Structure 1
């Protein structure tokens, strides 16, 4: 989203600047009548803060880039309604909808045996055709021979070819038998070898009893951040339900694992709560999560939002949130003590959502725990306490933070920095073991686009890189 400020001598001129630079769909976030000391060259002026989505602004620039200079000037001077109609028609005319197939890859190849039989039939037909061609060539090469002589000679050649093929097949079967006998001898030798002299693990997952064909899937889950015990549990369940002959079917295996993870994930349903407390250690992204969520509620959902902060310890924390509240044109207040809540609660009836920032803390001391327990009032109805964590941290560190915040009765978890880690399976392991719901994901720096309410499908996509693989395949096909 693009957020810009415009200043002009009159309100009309300022609005024209907004329409000219951001387009007819721009949203006015705030308007201010400046006095003499803030105006242009000491005179009075009007200041407007406006915002527009990246996609809408891109459409406007696309239309202007296709116009001649005279048409572009006339377009910019036209009314907002006219501009909207021109942009809509122009984009519709110059873009062709692309219909994507439902899928580009089969997950389960049901007709393996049927396809193999068809292939054998095709090979047999081809061999018969080749034999017929050979007969015609030989017949044409000796036109002076009688039909009987040609037939006798052809029979002899066919007999010779059949005997050669049978001999080759016999040699092949003999070599195969020799190989199997050697393999059995090696197996018997390994069984007779003492256990302490044999290697403990020849491939990933063998110590859990995982079949060799599934070792790469086990290793892939662990590489994505899924705990070994959880990965082994899923793989063994798959191994018990799917025949050994089907374990090489990679789409089938990945489909089973994705479905298994979908069933385990727990998602929060606390989006409609009125009070939202954001708690967690420093560097987890609490303030950015508050700003993104507030922007989304205001711009997309047209809700009334208020921002509060309990963080009077960090330098610049209060001022930072105050500036964003001015940009979003929402109420803002600082809670310095328990008594301040009495005044705040008097003015909440007209507000849909109240988002509260808190100091960064690991709650390692009783003093910190007491402060949070006193400031997060038990009397406040309809509240959610979001523990904000960074997906870049190790599982052990995440578990330690959660254990420290148990006294606050954490409702759910927000994971930030998912775009900065290659082990999103960490989130699944944390969610699976603790059964604490996921509330939202932070996947970038853009406001509010990179704030997403958590879904099971999104986490599975991050673990298996489904969207990334599809984009790569589409680029390759182009």
Structure 2
């Protein structure tokens, strides 16, 4: 008897998959509702787990000699084109990469993650994925509208409170956008975290004092265009009232075009950011802007994000994690 279990959104999906894989004679022997995710995650999604059984029919086996298929051999140029991380590099980087691989490739038909990492460390000795900020109590998140600042804060808050067992406090100064306060407040309620709203710059000190017993403070700011000097100055008025040392993360979407990204880097310097968090890796079809960031950004990249799921869709920003993720999404396509 063949027994197979499917984890699905609904019964219709389970039946379709079972019929396709096992045939129309498969029968349901059990079903139950389950929650998917790590045990400590309060945002776990509900799924349906359905088990099917199929009586095996014995048929005489016919031995067929399969023709020997010769493995296709690829040139280094073809291997680069097949790799999602490398195929969109600039001419300068591609030239360096070709020279490096001709001397260092161990398997002429396979480009390993280790070889890509080694090349990037060689080509960019001070690259932003090798740098990391020292952990501080107070962390501010700035960036354009729509890059996912609030969701990123929720992911970090969940990791720090649930995994690292730290007391986390949340603060927002984003009282401009409709629903912004409510969004972060909802996350705070789910995670059972203290939450404060700062309506005026001079109230920042008072709110920080309320949360002085927290191990980690995460401060959300309003999203604004890099061209809006007035709003950037408004944010600065709030930040000037934070007297203790802070990490200031510029949250940036890798789906943004290169010219706009470089403009954001330049204009947001008025907020004295000292680190980056890159988001929306799940939305990009190429890594052009990522290579631009690696080449031209001097600040450490602390995390990268690849979806809306809290707290799962966030990774420590290492070259190994980045390449592994790019290869994973490439294989899924």
Q: TM-score, normalised by structure 1?
A: 0.50
Q: Comparing both structures, which one devotes a greater share of its residues to helix?
A: 1
> Could you tell me how far 1:52 is from its partner in structure 2?
7.4
Does the 8 Å CA contact 2:79/2:111 hold for their aligned counterparts?
A: no
> Could you tell me how far 1:282 is from its partner in structure 2?
0.9
Distance 1:468 1:261, change over 3 A: same
Q: Comparing both structures, which one devotes a greater share of its residues to strand?
A: 2
Distance 1:381 1:227, change over 3 A: farther
> Could you tell me how far 1:467 is from its partner in structure 2?
8.2
State the partner residue of 1:259: 118
1:24-80 CA-partner distances (Å, limit 9, x unpaired): x976xxxxxxxxxxxxxxxxxxxxxx93757xx98xx97x989xxxxxxxxxxxxxx
How many pairs are equivalent?
274
Which 10-residue stretch deviates more, 360-369 or 309-318?
360-369
Q: CA RMSD in A?
A: 3.6
> Could you tell me how far 1:218 is from its partner in structure 2?
5.2
Does the 8 Å CA contact 1:213/1:247 hold for their aligned counterparts?
A: no
Does the 8 Å CA contact 1:214/1:247 hold for their aligned counterparts?
A: no
State the partner residue of 2:254: 391
Distance 1:383 1:445, change over 3 A: same
State the partner residue of 1:296: 159
Rounded to whole Å, the distance in 1 between the matches of 2:299 and 2:167 is 28
Structure 1 residue corresponding to 2:218, chosen from 355, 363, 371: 355
Does the 8 Å CA contact 1:262/1:457 hold for their aligned counterparts?
A: no
Equivalent runs, 1:114-129 vs 2, <5 Å? none
Equivalent runs, 1:32-181 vs 2, <5 Å? 51=42
Which has the higher relative contact order, 1 or 2, with Cα contacts under 8 A spaced 6 or more apart? 2
Unaligned runs of 5+ in 2: 1-32, 53-73
1:339 aligns with 2:202: yes
Distance 1:332 1:348, change over 3 A: closer
1:409 aligns with 2:272: yes
Rounded to whole Å, the distance in 2 between the matches of 1:247 and 1:65 is 44
Structure 1 segments (4+ residues) deviating >4 Å: 217-224, 252-255, 466-469
1:250 aligns with 2:109: yes
Rounded to whole Å, the distance in 1 between the matches of 2:311 and 2:287 is 21
1:132-152 CA-partner distances (Å, limit 9, x unpaired): xxxxxxxxxxxxxxxxxxxxx
Q: TM-score, normalised by structure 2?
A: 0.70
- Higher-Rg member (1/2): 1
SS at 1:327 equivalent: helix
Unaligned runs of 5+ in 1: 1-19, 28-49, 67-211, 473-478
Rounded to whole Å, the distance in 2 between the matches of 1:329 and 1:253 is 43
Does the 8 Å CA contact 2:138/2:216 hold for their aligned counterparts?
A: yes
Distance 1:339 1:320, change over 3 A: same
